[in-house]
């Protein structure tokens, strides 16, 4: 597909993604901040998105449903913790509205201007296997063969 | 506790590295490499065993630890799954913002 310049760093229980987008920082920030924009790109292929409510401000909630290609609905609720336009969006998942299980999964997105483009850094901190599995379930089975990312010695070197 | 949480601790990561470098080690041999008391190390070893990071086999009075490939492979797989999802999502985001950029540039002409 497109030139994928995604860099991934794994340390402890945190995964960091870095990617360059060839658009100004204001535009990249803008598409995270409104329902019309999010509906265009948030869902994986085959998914559609319905926003129940979106309050894009500190402490505000984004309550939405993703409709999977298999007819399943996946409820989501996100709370914005810290928004600093146009440089930072930090949010946590506060449940899927379907269980009383505590969700403990946080994301922090940092936007940095570089020339005419923007470097996006996203940090995800998760606390449990169950959490990751739930995230995966939200999007149905993720297709594609899994390549082995190398032997353990290297892996442990990376997570130092 | 799961593998991620188990490995979030510095001492436990050092233990795993030590085991990886040596292939197999007894709990006594592991303890000798740390300042911590043997009971404290035993507790860490229990966490690593329960999280499927290490395997333990008993040989008379000895407890011998080695790496549990299954647990670590699972961990790598979860990370890859989440990475794949975001990789695709960022692809879509990229296409979308490039489209917007083009539209807005044309709109200004």
pLDDT in tens, A114-160: 999 999 999 888 665 555 555 555 443 332 222 222 233 344 445 44
pLDDT attached to residue A109 = 94
Q: Do residues B56 and B7 both lie within one domain? A: yes
State the Cα–Cα distance between residues B31 and A59, nearest whole angstrom: 47
* % of chain A beyond a pLDDT of 70: 65
pLDDT attached to residue B49 = 93
Q: Give the residue, A159 or A70, on which the prediction is more confident.
A: A70
Q: Do residues B60 and B78 both lie within one domain? A: no
Residue B78 with chain A: CB contacts under 8 Å: 129, 132-133, 136
Instruction: Name the domain count of chain A.
Output: 1
pLDDT attached to residue B26 = 96
Q: Give the residue, A14 or A122, on which the prediction is more confident.
A: A122
Q: Give the residue, A157 or B54, on which the prediction is more confident.
A: B54
- pLDDT over 90 at A86, yes or no: yes
Can you tell me the mean pLDDT for A88-97? 80
Q: Do residues B75 and B23 both lie within one domain? A: no
Q: Do residues B74 and B22 both lie within one domain? A: no
A145 touches B: beta carbon within 8 Å: no
The pLDDT-based confidence of B51 (bands split at 50, 70, 90) is confident
pLDDT attached to residue A5 = 66
Tell me the residue range of the domain where B7 lies. Answer: 3-67
Q: How many residues appear in chain A?
A: 160
CA distance B71 to chain A (A): 11
Position A48 in a domain = yes
- pLDDT over 80 at A57, yes or no: yes
Position A59 in a domain = yes
Q: Do residues B7 and B44 both lie within one domain? A: yes
Q: Do residues B14 and B24 both lie within one domain? A: yes
Position A108 in a domain = yes
The pLDDT-based confidence of B106 (bands split at 50, 70, 90) is confident
Q: Do residues B54 and B82 both lie within one domain? A: no
Residue B90's region, left for phi above 0, alpha for psi from -120 to 50, else beta, is alpha
Position A121 in a domain = yes
Structure tokens at B97: 């913002």
Can you tell me the mean pLDDT for B68-91? 77
Residue A144 with chain B: CB contacts under 8 Å: 84
Q: Do residues B25 and B75 both lie within one domain? A: no
Q: Best residue in B7, B18, B22, B82 to probe A by mutation, most A CBs within 10 Å? A: B82
Interface touch A15/B97, C-beta < 8 Å: no
- pLDDT over 70 at B105, yes or no: yes
Position A71 in a domain = yes
Q: Do residues B27 and B38 both lie within one domain? A: yes
Q: Do residues B21 and B46 both lie within one domain? A: yes
Position A2 in a domain = no
Computed over every residue of chain A, the mean pLDDT equals 74
The answer for residues whose C-beta is within 8 angstroms of residue A122's C-beta and 6 or more apart is A16, A17, A18, A107, A108, A109, A110, B86
Task: Report the predicted TM-score, pTM, of the whole model to 2 decimal places.
Answer: 0.65
Instruction: Name the domain count of chain B.
Output: 2
Tell me the residue range of the domain where A63 lies. Answer: 7-159
Q: Do residues B55 and B95 both lie within one domain? A: no
Residue B97 with chain A: CB contacts under 8 Å: 21, 23, 27-28, 31
DSSP letter (8 states) at residue B68: -
Q: Which residue of A has its CA nearest to B72?
A: A152
State the Cα–Cα distance between residues A31 and B76, nearest whole angstrom: 31
Q: Report the CATH number at residue A56.
A: 3.30.530.20
pLDDT attached to residue A127 = 63
- pLDDT over 80 at A8, yes or no: no
Residue A106 with chain B: CB contacts under 8 Å: none
Position A1 in a domain = no
Can you tell me the mean pLDDT for B53-76? 86
Contact A13, B13 (CB under 8 A): no
- pLDDT over 80 at B100, yes or no: yes
State the Cα–Cα distance between residues B7 and A158, nearest whole angstrom: 12
Can you tell me the mean pLDDT for B79-94? 82
Q: Do residues B14 and B60 both lie within one domain? A: yes
pLDDT attached to residue A82 = 96
Position A133 in a domain = yes
């Amino acid at each position: 597909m497109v030139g994928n310049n995604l860099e991934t760093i794994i340390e402890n229980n945190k995964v960091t993604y870095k990617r360059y987008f060839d658009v100004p920082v204001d535009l990249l920030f803008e598409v995270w901040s409104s329902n019309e924009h999010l509906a265009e790109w948030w869902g994986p292929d085959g998914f559609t998105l319905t926003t129940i409510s979106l309050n894009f401000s500190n402490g505000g909630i984004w309550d939405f449903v993703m409709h999977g290609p298999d007819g399943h609905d996946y409820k989501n609720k996100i709370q914005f913790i810290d928004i600093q336009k146009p440089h930072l969006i930090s949010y946590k998942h506060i449940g899927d509205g379907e269980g009383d299980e505590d969700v403990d999964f946080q994301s922090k997105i940092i936007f940095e201007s570089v020339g005419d483009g923007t470097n996006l850094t996203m940090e995800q901190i998760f606390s449990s296997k169950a959490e990751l599995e739930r995230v995966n379930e939200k999007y149905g089975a993720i297709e594609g063969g899994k390549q082995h990312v190398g032997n353990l010695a290297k892996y442990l070197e990376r997570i130092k | 506790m799961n593998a991620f949480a188990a490995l979030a601790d510095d001492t436990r990561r050092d233990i795993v590295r030590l085991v990886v470098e040596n292939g197999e080690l007894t709990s006594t041999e592991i303890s000798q490499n740390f300042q911590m008391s043997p009971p404290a190390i035993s507790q860490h070893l229990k966490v690593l065993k329960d999280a499927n990071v290490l395997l333990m086999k008993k040989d008379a009075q000895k407890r011998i630890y080695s790496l549990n490939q299954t647990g670590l492979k699972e961990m790598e797989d979860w990370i890859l799954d989440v990475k794949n999802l975001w990789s695709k999502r960022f692809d879509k985001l990229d296409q979308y913002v490039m489209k917007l950029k083009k539209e807005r540039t044309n709109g200004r002409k």
